[in-house]
Amino acid sequence: MLVVDIGCGSGYYARRMAAVVGSEGSVLCNDIQPQMLRIAEELARREGVTNVSTVLGTEDDPKLPEGEVDLMLLVDVYHEFSEPEAMLEAMREALSPDGVIALAEFRLEGRTAAHIKIDHRMSIDQVMKEWIPAGYELVERIDSLPTQHLFLFRTAR
């Protein structure tokens, strides 16, 4: 299994996903900031995680292998994209035929994420208005997280 943590930062989620996919799987820690990738590499090395590697993306292309990614995780990063249309297209092209993207964003609706600046939150409507026209379909929306929306998307069929 090939898993990607988009906007991985220090690689917190990447290192945890590495344990789940095991020695037969691999995790790509993807970010546009080289210094974050260096931190992620160092933390993985310190923890003895050997199935994580880093990929330096750009603002409009995560630089992922075409058609090979089984799961992408984006945690509180999509709202930061400066080129969302190009990124959505490039991510879709990287997905395997059964690949899924898990998108977590702080809720704009209600008060559960009121402690987060408003420009770092998204509504369900905002997400759907961007992802559906970009060629995705919603597989599932999980509403049990205390402060975030969690969407599971795949390429529209």
CA distances from 81 to 93, 96, 143 (A): 17, 22, 23
pLDDT at 104: 98
Domains in the chain, start-ordered, CATH in brackets? 2-155 (3.40.50.150)
SS (H, E, C) 138-156: EEEEECCCCCEEEEEEEEC
pLDDT of residue 70: 98
Calpha distance 137→131 (Å, rounded): 8
Rounded to the nearest 10°, the torsion over CA 108, 112, 116, 121 is -20
* Prediction pTM value: 0.95
pLDDT tens, residue by residue, 33-49: 999 999 999 999 999 99
What is the pLDDT at residue 22? Answer: 94
Regions of the chain where pLDDT drops below 70: none
Collapsing DSSP to helix, strand or coil, 39 comes out as helix
Output the six-digit token pair for 54. 């880093």
